[in-house]
Structure 1
Amino acid sequence: MKKILLLLTCVIGMLVANAQTDNKPVKIYNVEANAKADLDKAIAKAKKENKNVFVQVGGNWCVWCIRFHDLVDATPELKNYLNEKYETVLVNYSPENKNEETLKRLKNPGRFGFPVFVILNGAGEVIHIQNSAYLEKGNGHDPKLILDFLKNWTVAAVNSK
């Protein structure tokens, strides 16, 4: 009985300690964003600047989505390459906003899990859907695999002979 009481006390103590930590929710994806308008704006800009559009679909609930975003932010080579070669849009998928029409427009990429990446050309056509699991190595996304993927879907790469 003493062991059970001790175990119960430890569990309650851990729960109380965890509840008191400052766990601010991550807000990378804007749940209230108008995904259609965001995509249309990015497509127009991409067409004007001869770029493709990189769409990251996921949600604030998705630890791998957050990790990918943080990795890109912390890796200047990735961040700069994305900014130079693509227009980037984050499309939220969550219980609060499933963006069903936008995801249908993007050919339902969620079937590959989250995050999932969609490449659009300047006309707004889906030219590739990437399962992010193929960009992982070891315990997370691999910067080299990500950069190789991005290089393969630029306007120049897609239009090369």
Structure 2
Amino acid sequence: MHKIKLFIVASLLFSSALFSTELNWLNDYDAALKQAQKEKKMVYLFIGADVCRWCERFKDMTLSKKHVIKRLNQEYVLLYMSRDRHKIPSKFTTQGVPRHYFLKSDGTIIYEDRGSREVDGFLSLLEEVSLKKE
């Protein structure tokens, strides 16, 4: 019986490690810029709200996909700010969420968009941003 419990626990730990690919969001604007400068990356700022069905839809439908996660982690420092909980700099619009801002490491906005996007639409958005940053 003990071996069965041990096997179940080990299996759960292995499967959770296997599927633990996730996005590591910062919630502090200045810290995100510092990290972006250090890593020579851009910042992806996702502004949402604590109660926002479109934000949740975007997270569930798009930000949960492994290939999206991999691309975002490779190219961007990730910054999530809730208009209900975080001090968002005044240069960013907080109405009409979800909002997407793509920033240089000095905070310059190079692209902005809003709305919940499916995977293909979000990947197209990332391609547009790549063209703008060059």
Task: State TM-score, norm by structure 1.
Answer: 0.60
The corresponding residue for 1:131 is 114
Q: Which has the higher contact order (CA 8 A, sep 6+)?
A: 2
State the 1:50 CA deviation.
1.8
The corresponding residue for 2:126 is 150
Structure 1 residue runs without a partner (length 5+): 1-33
1:19-54 Cα deviation digits (max 9, x unpaired): xxxxxxxxxxxxxxx95xx11111111122221100
Return the alpha-carbon distance in structure 2 between the equivalents of residues 70 and 63 of structure 1: 10
Return the alpha-carbon distance in structure 1 between the equivalents of residues 32 and 100 of structure 2: 15
Which runs of 4 or more aligned residues in structure 1 lie more than 6 Å from their structure 2 counterparts after TM superposition? Answer: none
Matches within 5 A, 1:99-118: 99=87, 102-104=88-90, 107-111=91-95, 113-118=96-101
Matched residue SS, 2:94: helix
Q: Letter of the aligned partner of 1:146 in structure 2?
A: F
Larger relative helix fraction: 1
Indicate the structure (1 or 2) with the bigger Cα radius of gyration. 1
Q: Assess if the C-alpha contact under 8 Å between 2:110 and 2:132 holds in 1.
A: no
Task: State TM-score, norm by structure 2.
Answer: 0.70
Q: Aligned-pair RMSD on alpha carbons?
A: 2.1
Say if 1:64 and 1:93 are closer, same or farther in 2 by CA, change over 3 A.
same
